Chain A
Amino acid sequence: MQILYTLYILLSLITTVVAKTHTFHWNVSWVMANPDGLHERRMVGINNVWPPPTIRVNANDRVVLHLTNSLGEFNTSLHFHGLFVKGFNAHDGPEMVTQCPIPPGATFIHDFNVGDQTGTFWYHSHTGSQYGDGLRGVFIIEDPQGFPYDYDEEVVLTVGDHYHKETQDIMKSFKTRFNPTGAEPVPQNSLFNETRNVTWSIEPEKTYLVRIVNTGLFPSHYLYIEDHSVTIIEIDGIAVEPFEVDSLYITVAQRYVVLLKTKKSINKNYRIVNVLDRDMLDYVPSDLHLVSTNWLVYNEYVPKPDPLPYFDFDTVVNALPEFDDDQFKPKSKQPLLPDPDMVIQVNFTMDMLGDGITYALFNGKSYTQPKVPTLYTALSSGNLSFHQSVYGSNTNTFVIHGDEVIDIVLNNHDPGKHPFHLHGHAFQVISRFNSDDEDNPLDFDPNNSTMTDYPEFPMVRDTVLVDPNGFLVIRFKADNPGVWFFHCHLDWHLEQGLALVLVEAPDILQKTQSKIPQNHIDVCDAVNIPHLGNAAGNRDFLDLHGENVQADWLPMGFTTRGYVAIVVCGLFAIYGIWSIYKYGIEDVSKDNSAAVISKLYKILEEYDSTANR
């Protein structure tokens, strides 16, 4: 017994020693950079370096990250995409959801344990579209027990898009009534490892582990290496049954980890091609490089093949095999979760509201930031935390109970592709359909057996594409108490309000994570945002007076103003016509009346006298 106890003490000592604490002091500031070689601009870098570093930790490690905002005039924040941050909801990152925005000069401390997750994740600013300005990087959690596959070398590869203007300037011409179609800003270029025309020198007959992340804001990427196939072993931090593919289709925020086996022969070099998904763009500028070529170099003495024509999207993409992520089965053999205890159904539309700006709406509501971060409302509302209304009427907030199985049914009434992401969870994708019929989008029907023919082992990931005019059904277990954002990761759409909030088990949350770190409260004080109260900032939690709401609906047809205007116009026209009539009819009376004729002569005589004078 004594021995066992000693062993236990020793073991726990070992784990404490193994579970390392990684402390980072990051100063977020502007750095001049020229990622695409065409335009120098300032990018958001870390400790005066852009691009930001890749973080590499082990499972169960603790991360302490001091984030200081030195951006001068802009707020910032940092989210760890794909991390469940179980038990550390306050460190998830999205502003006004789990924390206040970090104002210039303030330092925010993220302090969490990465838990037992392993795989490829990434971090990025969750303040507006700021990560498009460069605050983004890769976050890798390795398994201290070792990697299940043999490989010779590991490589991190990001793809993304790039704008020459800063995102806050782009926003000014995006969310305005002068952008009546709500057209998303088209990027100026695509990036490959945060630059372009990359040459990757490799050795023959080796196995490379490639962690691929799309850190872009907007379009998905097609990615392939000529004459090479790769084996996918992990998607969005979830290990999957190995699956060989010739090409990938990666939406923003998705990750694929693949094994690449290099060839024996070294007398040829190959193109690595990444292609922006043209179908997502409002228009294609003639100089936009849809097709970008990089090189896999076996032998630097052999000439590299020419780049593919940058505009020839069709030839390149039509030659690629269909890519369907539904076929990836988690290696854990996690079966379909049982029938849901709660179904959240949202219909998504893009509509113009009364201010002439096009918004994205879930069931007619465009996500509008509350006045108090939703997590702080959940923590401070006591027994009312299950009351959906305390989170505001315009935040699309749904309260769910702990350990329930939740289905989110998302009907896409928009002809666009949308990569949706849920914080704090990886979910099962159990049903997904698309439709070409723009006028009749396909809605999920629980009684339609084709639509509910759920797979036995559904794909699990944290960012999934919803097809145009189609729908998506995802299922997950509410086993991570917290406040979690569910939103379109196409960041322009998030800016248009394409988001909802899940308040998961607020009762447990109040018990286990009730204390807001003092540092987080200080940050709130620095931006004058309360850390108590409902969505409107009121302490009387059921009083939503003063909450932020979306713009009024566009007036349909005639309003009072219109009726008044048209009546006034009518009256003026009628009086004008009456004047013309009066003027016209005088001519007749003059012509026919002898009296007028004599009057005319009289006038003539008067003229005579004046003329003679």
Chain B
Amino acid sequence: MANVFNVQVFFIVFRESLEAIIVVSVLLAFLKQGLGGASQDPKVYKQLVRQVWFGALSGVLICLIIGGGFIGAFYGLGKDIWGKSEDLWEGIFCIIAAVIISLMGMPMLRINKMKEKWRIKLAQALVKDPKDGKMGKFRIGHWAKKYAMFILPFITTLREGLEAVVFVGGVSLNQPASSFPLPVVVGLIAGVFVGGLLYYFGTNASMQIFLIISTCILYLIAAGLFSRGVWSFETNSFNRKTGGDASENGSGPGSYDIAKSVWHVNCCNPEINHGWDIFNALLGWQNSATYGSVISYNIYWLFMISVILLMLFEERTGHLPFCKNLTLRQLNPLYHIKGKKKSELTAVEKEELFHQVKQQKFGAEVAETEVNAEDTKQFLDPK
């Protein structure tokens, strides 16, 4: 089962395609609300909507091709990289996958926040004046502006898609190649489906429940992966010390290090017995649990629970407990490296931004429109 359907891959593709759909839906919402005066000319509106779809789909297509080629090439070239230290690599990949999934999971529960993020990002992209840069001197700037509604979704879906490729690669390069196609396709379909529901019905309670359930499964997987990573490291060191004799013993005595064993049952080995591999993929089941695997599983949850509590606290109060000027974002070193601090927009700046967006012209014959406060409010609150 895990050989043809890799659950982690499914969730990553699902999550990334959901995000891509949100980008598309934000753009469509922009257009619907009269961005650049689209609402005044149904012909222009239709044209722009077509551009959005066309851009998004070509982005997806290209990254599917790139991703397929990338992973195919990797498997073609590096089949035997793992070889003897298979357990070591498996451990590394499990930990990487657990970290990636943990970082990706929580934003899924903040679909509105995600939308907001994209609304600002896209608005920023739209208002960037091509005349500011050198490119402004050339016609390409005008061309870019004309087809902005194609380029934006194209670039974003391509980016999200490549991100998915990298993540999928990261979580599962030690898995057989046959475990990819099915979860990728199913993940795409599920992401598009859920995204569509979000677009047409907005976020409501049942949708949120659905997302919560998915996220819970995602984190169960991540906890299992984390524990399995530690387990693999331990197995690797045991195998090194035994010179590989341990694996000769199947799941019986001698297949595990008794000094580190918490429980061991001579059955239900996820590496040998079919069916238990799903249990392993979803919940991190091991027929031979070690102190390392059990403790790391609990530490993972302890960590996630603390992070969630901190996030909730921060959402309510705007800062972390005991540190008035500190938020979780600021704890991320990349936050400072990328200089996010400077580019963080205040509410006023946001308002100004959307104001500008309204005045942008897209397409060939777009009439300028007045912007009023009502529209701005609508941007801030999609409802």
Q: Interface of A with B (CB < 8 Å)? A: 177-183, 351-352, 354-356, 358, 554-559, 561-562, 565-566, 568-569, 572-573, 575-577, 579-588, 590-592, 597, 603-605, 607-608, 610-612
Contacts and interface: CB of A to CB of B under 8 A. Distances in A.
B208 A568 contact: no
Nearest to A603: B318
Contacts of A572: 297-298, 301-302, 305
A584 B308 CA distance: 10
B264 A575 contact: no
A587 B263 contact: no
Contacts of A183: 245
Given A580-B109, A583-B106, A561 B262 contact: yes
* 8 A-B pairs with the lowest CB-CB distances in the bound complex, closest first: A562-B263, A180-B254, A356-B258, A611-B346, A584-B212, A352-B253, A584-B109, A572-B301
B308 A583 contact: yes
B257 interface: yes
Interface residues of B, number: 57
Interface string B262-302: 11111000000000000000010000010000100110011
Interface in B110-134: 110-113
Interface of B: 106, 109-113, 203-205, 208, 211-212, 215-216, 219-220, 223, 238, 241-242, 245-246, 248-249, 253-255, 257-259, 262-266, 283, 289, 294, 297-298, 301-302, 304-305, 308-309, 311-312, 315, 318, 346-349, 380-381, 383
A559 B262 CA distance: 8
A586 B109 CA distance: 9
Given A182-B254, A588-B204, 16 more contacts: A181-B245, A181-B254, A356-B257, A554-B258, A561-B262, A568-B294, A569-B297, A573-B283, A575-B305, A576-B304, A579-B308, A580-B216, A581-B212, A583-B106, A603-B318, A611-B348
Contacts of A555: 264
B265 A557 contact: yes
A579 B301 CA distance: 10
A589 to B, nearest CB: 9
A613 to B, nearest CB: 11
B259 A356 contact: yes
A183 B301 CA distance: 41
A506 to B, nearest CB: 38
B259 A565 contact: no
Nearest to B217: A577
A576 B309 CA distance: 10
A41 B257 CA distance: 33
Given A180-B254, A580-B109, A566 B263 contact: yes
B254 A352 contact: yes
The B interface, classified by DSSP as helix, strand, loop or mixed, is: helix
Contacts of A557: 263-266
B34 to A, nearest CB: 22
A434 to B, nearest CB: 23
A586 B315 contact: yes
29 contacts: A179-B242, A179-B245, A180-B242, A180-B254, A182-B254, A354-B258, A557-B263, A562-B262, A565-B262, A565-B263, A565-B289, A569-B294, A572-B302, A573-B223, A576-B219, A576-B301, A579-B309, A580-B216, A582-B312, A585-B212, A587-B208, A588-B208, A591-B203, A591-B383, A592-B205, A607-B347, A608-B346, A608-B347, A612-B348
Of the listed residues B219, B258, B349, the one surrounded by the most CB atoms of chain A closer than 10 A to its CB is B258
A585 B109 CA distance: 8
B44 to A, nearest CB: 32
A185 to B, nearest CB: 12
A568 B204 CA distance: 34
Nearest to A576: B301
A584 B208 contact: yes
Given A569-B294, A569-B297, A572-B301, A587 B109 contact: yes
Contacts of A568: 294, 298
Given A178-B241, A581-B212, A604-B347, A587 B262 contact: no
A577 B265 contact: no
A565 B245 contact: no
B245 A584 contact: no
Nearest to B350: A604
B249 A180 contact: yes
Contact of B112 (A579, A590, A608): A590
Contacts of B258: 177, 352, 354-356, 554
Given A565-B294, A591-B112, A580 B219 contact: yes
A192 B267 CA distance: 48
A597 B381 contact: yes
A183 B249 CA distance: 12
Of the listed residues A180, A577, A608, the one surrounded by the most CB atoms of chain B closer than 10 A to its CB is A180
A300 to B, nearest CB: 46
Of the listed residues B204, B211, B297, the one surrounded by the most CB atoms of chain A closer than 10 A to its CB is B297
A577 B216 contact: yes
Contacts of A575: 301, 305
B263 to A, nearest CB: 3
Given A356-B259, A554-B258, A573-B220, A583 B312 contact: yes
Contacts of A573: 220, 223, 283, 297, 301
A604 B112 CA distance: 16
B203 A588 contact: yes
A585 B312 CA distance: 11
Contact of A576 (B223, B238, B265, B294): B223
A558 B259 CA distance: 15
B348 A608 contact: yes
Given A587-B112, A607-B347, A608-B348, A180 B262 contact: no
B380 to A, nearest CB: 8
A180 B203 contact: no
Nearest to A566: B263
A576 B211 CA distance: 16
A577 B220 contact: yes
A580 B212 contact: yes
A183 B248 CA distance: 11
A566 B259 CA distance: 18
A80 to B, nearest CB: 37
Of the listed residues B106, B266, B304, the one surrounded by the most CB atoms of chain A closer than 10 A to its CB is B304
Contacts of B106: 583
A579 B304 contact: yes
B250 to A, nearest CB: 11
B311 to A, nearest CB: 6
A180 B301 contact: no
Contacts of B242: 178-180
Contacts of A566: 263, 289
B245 A585 contact: no
A355 to B, nearest CB: 7
Contacts of B312: 582-583, 586
Nearest to B108: A584
A70 to B, nearest CB: 35
Contacts of A576: 219, 223, 301, 304-305
Contacts of A590: 112
Contacts of B245: 179-181, 183
Of the listed residues A354, A591, A607, A608, the one surrounded by the most CB atoms of chain B closer than 10 A to its CB is A591
Given A559-B263, A572-B298, A180 B255 contact: yes
A579 B106 CA distance: 11
B308 to A, nearest CB: 4
A562 B285 CA distance: 13
A610 B381 CA distance: 21
Contacts of B259: 177, 356
